[in-house]
Amino acid sequence: MTHEVAPDRLHLTLFISGASPASTRAVRRLRDLCDRNYPDGYDLEIVDVYQQPALVTSRGVVAVPTLIKDLPLPIRLLVGDFADESAVLTALGLPEPTAA
């Protein structure tokens, strides 16, 4: 995911803890949600906190799962396993699912 980032293109970083069932579930839910709502594509970087602890620190992450929406601005921090889909969409700046 190192190609040029367009300012309007959705760029996400997801912090999870290893291959725990909760992490796997969160990744699946997020992918599913983004696939449905971003047909034009999106960038998703997945970080295992145990693999890149320095990045966890530098990004100020305390919880897993944590999703950081870097682009488009403003930066948003989402914590949780994406069970509340409407909250995720609002945070990502998308209209409510009813409008989709």
Residues 47-70 as b/e (b if ≥16 CB within 10 A, e otherwise) read bbbeeeeeebeeeebeebbbbbbb
Q: Does 37 bind other proteins (CB under 8 A)?
A: no
Number of residues that bind other proteins (CB under 8 A): 34
Q: How far is the CB of 4 from other proteins (least distance, A)?
A: 26
Residue type at 46 in one-letter notation = I
Site residues (vs other proteins, CB under 8 A) = 15, 17, 22, 26, 49-50, 53-54, 56-57, 60-67, 74-85, 87-88, 90-91
